[in-house]
């Protein structure tokens, strides 16, 4: 009993230190893993010691997710270098014509499509510097424009294959097993994005049609002198891996590689100057790989730390000492499940314990190992809470960058997004309870 209380106290202290940005997540996760393992009575040396079963085994525990993250980042950078992402955004803006609402909705749809495949701060900067000024040029307020961007980004991530590979590594539940939940969350996220746009237009007094909307936008959409648009069929690249996984049951890494091949062949074979393009595209592949690894580096290190924490919490010595205490906290009934995870979704903010990309990853692994709740229900509960983290967390690097870009602060973003994010999380938990209980 005393051991479990000490472990939970260490967990709470580290969560506090992370939320206050005193200890960075990259250092906190492996440090907490070693502390928990030591308190749990695991020896440092030996086959089942801290060095082998926690540090070494934990470091490669998320290997599938790490590979998927790097390959996904590689594909995303290839889309950026070939101009696919930029062309998708500009095509959406052109289709909107002189109607600010239509421009905003189409830009949002385009960004959702892009972020089903792409992720990372680099892609946010690249896309936002095109999309946000276009929205502002048609009369959308700067704060509203970046919040639309964040909603679109978060909605696209709902179908992002690299994310679901990570969630599977944490909980042991495969993406194939929770397809109904994924589509439900994606649909609700799309509706939340649309509701925010419509309410913002009404609240900000924006016109749904504006005769001067295209004037400022035309300058923003002028192509660079050396920019060559990719073929229209290449714009399907973001949805290729989704179709392969969701419809044809491809493995995620294979689907990402297939999308990369599709991107390369469509741009090479259908864009003018095939021979000249081949050498340039091969250069893009190399540069995209390097940029993709750089962009995913922090995510990889976080996954290594989460793997160590997961290995520590699921070690027999540790789990045996804390199962009884944790079992009294986690509800097993449907109503208790809904209330518990819906109410605590707010703790996904500031790198809190419900954030599956931090301490929540270890907590989810622990709950699954205890068999208190169905593994699918645990996965879906934490991914529902992830809506709060993705849309509202003031510590998100992309949120900080976007706020600085338009001259506001992340707390303004939090105020705009939290009501929607919390409702989304609660709805996700309710859908999960209907599916898995």
* Tens of pLDDT, residues 232-257: 999 999 999 999 999 998 999 999 99
Cα–Cα distance measured from residue 128 to residue 150, given in angstroms and rounded to the nearest whole number: 10
Cα–Cα distance measured from residue 309 to residue 300, given in angstroms and rounded to the nearest whole number: 14
Total tally of structural domains belonging to the chain: 1
Helices then strands (H, E): number in the chain? Answer: 20, 0
Q: Is the pLDDT of residue 381 over 80?
A: yes
Determine the angle formed by the axes of helices 359-370 and 25-39, rounding to 10 degrees. Answer: 40
CA torsion 257-112-236-159 (nearest 10°) is 40
Residue 209 confidence class, pLDDT cut points 50, 70, 90: low
Q: Is the pLDDT of residue 272 over 80?
A: no
Q: Is the pLDDT of residue 385 over 90?
A: yes
pTM of the entire structure?
A: 0.89
What are 285-306's pLDDT values in tens digits? 999 999 999 988 989 999 999 9
Range of the domain at 30: 2-436
Token pair recorded at residue 319: 């789990």
Q: Is the pLDDT of residue 223 over 60?
A: no
Over residues 322-346, the mean pLDDT reads 91
Predicted confidence at residue 34, as pLDDT, reads 95
Token pair recorded at residue 14: 């580290």
Cα–Cα distance measured from residue 144 to residue 140, given in angstroms and rounded to the nearest whole number: 7
Q: For the purposes of burial, counting CB atoms within 10 Å of the CB of 137, is it exposed (0-12), middle (13-18) or buried (19 or more)?
A: buried
Task: Please answer whether residues 59 and 88 qualify as being in contact, where contact means their C-beta atoms are separated by less than 8 angstroms.
Answer: no
What are 303-324's pLDDT values in tens digits? 999 999 999 998 988 888 888 7
Q: Is the pLDDT of residue 214 over 90?
A: no
- Look-up of token digits 């504006």: 210
Over residues 407-428, the mean pLDDT reads 95
What are 175-189's pLDDT values in tens digits? 989 999 999 999 999
Token pair recorded at residue 225: 């002198």
Cα–Cα distance measured from residue 124 to residue 156, given in angstroms and rounded to the nearest whole number: 12
What are 86-115's pLDDT values in tens digits? 899 989 988 887 788 999 999 999 999 999
Top-confidence residue, 357 or 195: 195
Token pair recorded at residue 285: 């592949």
Predicted confidence at residue 208, as pLDDT, reads 54
């Amino acid at each position: 009993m005393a051991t479990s209380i000490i472990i939970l106290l260490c967990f709470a202290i580290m969560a506090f230190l992370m939320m206050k940005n005193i200890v960075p997540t990259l250092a906190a996760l492996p440090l907490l893993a070693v502390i928990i393992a030591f308190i749990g009575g695991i020896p440092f040396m030996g086959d089942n010691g801290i060095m082998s079963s926690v540090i070494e085994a934990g470091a490669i525990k998320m290997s599938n997710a790490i590979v998927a993250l790097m390959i996904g980042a590689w594909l995303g950078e290839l889309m950026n270098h070939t101009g696919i992402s930029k062309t998708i955004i500009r095509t959406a803006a052109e289709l909107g014509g002189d109607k600010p609402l239509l421009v905003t909705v189409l830009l949002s749809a385009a960004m959702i499509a892009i972020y089903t495949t792409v992720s990372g701060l680099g892609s946010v900067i690249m896309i936002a510097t095109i999309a946000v000024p276009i929205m502002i040029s048609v009369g959308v307020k700067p704060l509203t424009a970046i919040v639309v961007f964040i909603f679109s980004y978060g909605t696209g991530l709902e179908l992002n294959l690299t994310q679901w590979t990570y969630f599977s590594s944490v909980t042991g539940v495969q993406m194939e097993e929770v397809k109904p939940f994924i589509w439900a969350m994606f649909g609700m996220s799309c509706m939340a994005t649309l509701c925010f746009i419509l309410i913002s237009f009404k609240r900000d007094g924006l016109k749904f049609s504006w005769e001067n909307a295209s004037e400022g936008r035309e300058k923003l959409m002028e192509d660079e002198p050396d920019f060559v648009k990719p073929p229209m069929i290449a714009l399907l690249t973001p949805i290729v891996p989704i179709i392969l996984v969701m419809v044809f049951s491809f493995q995620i890494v294979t689907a990402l590689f297939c999308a990369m091949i599709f991107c390369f062949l469509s741009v090479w074979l259908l864009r003018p100057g095939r021979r000249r393009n081949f050498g340039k595209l091969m250069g893009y592949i190399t540069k995209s790989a390097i940029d993709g690894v750089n962009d995913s580096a922090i995510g990889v290190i976080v996954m290594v730390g989460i793997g160590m924490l997961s290995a520590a919490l699921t070690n027999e010595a540790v789990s045996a000492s804390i199962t009884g205490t944790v079992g009294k906290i986690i509800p097993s009934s449907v109503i208790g499940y809904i209330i518990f995870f819906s109410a605590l979704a707010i703790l996904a903010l500031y790198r809190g314990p419900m954030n599956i990309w931090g301490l929540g990853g270890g907590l989810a692994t622990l709950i699954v190992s205890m068999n208190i709740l169905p593994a699918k229900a645990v996965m879906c509960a934490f991914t529902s809470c992830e809506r709060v983290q993705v849309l509202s967390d003031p510590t998100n690097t992309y949120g900080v960058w976007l706020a600085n870009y338009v001259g506001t602060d992340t707390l303004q973003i939090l105020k705009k997004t939290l009501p929607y994010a919390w409702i989304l999380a609660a709805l996700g938990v309710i859908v999960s309870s209907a599916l898995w209980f």
